[in-house]
Amino acid sequence: DAKTTQPTSMDCAEGRAANLPCNHSTISGNEYVYWYRQIHSQGPQYIIHGLKNNETNEMASLIITEDRKSSTLILPHATLRDTAVYYCIAINSGGSNYKLTFGKGTLLTVNP
């Protein structure tokens, strides 16, 4: 699985969009980009994943650059409950049996 690089921490004002970057310059063609988050004292939570097209669901949007070397997770209207550590992972798995390996992630702090 490709290595990913994320900023250690970011701040965002409540109600504003939070844009979390991730660099995955060594990603291979069949690796998906996944985003999970971990709110303090809770289990990791899946947010979104994508291969090369931009994706949107009820939680967030994922923008992947055309060369697939980086991506941005967008929380359109951040709330205090979005304060968490966000993990970007590149996973190569054609099936659902895969191991999750989290790096340090980005601590997003949403401020009132």
28 in contact with another protein (CB under 8 A): no
CB 111 within 8 A of CB 10: no
Q: What number of H helices and E strands is found in the chain?
A: 0, 9
Residues 112 and 109: their CA atoms lie apart, in Å, by 10
Q: Does 7 bind another protein (CB under 8 A)?
A: no
Listed ranges 8-16, 20-28, 63-71, 96-104: which one lies at the site for another protein (CB under 8 A):
96-104
Least distance in angstroms from the C-beta of 58 to another protein? 14
Residue 43 CB contacts under 8 Å (≥ 6 apart), including other chains: none
Based on the shown chain and the rule CB under 8 A, indicate whether residue 13 belongs to the binding site for another protein. Answer: no
Binding to another protein by residue 34, rule CB under 8 A? yes
Residue 7: strand, helix, or coil: coil
Binding site for another protein (CB under 8 A): 32, 34, 41-46, 49, 87, 91, 93-97, 99-104
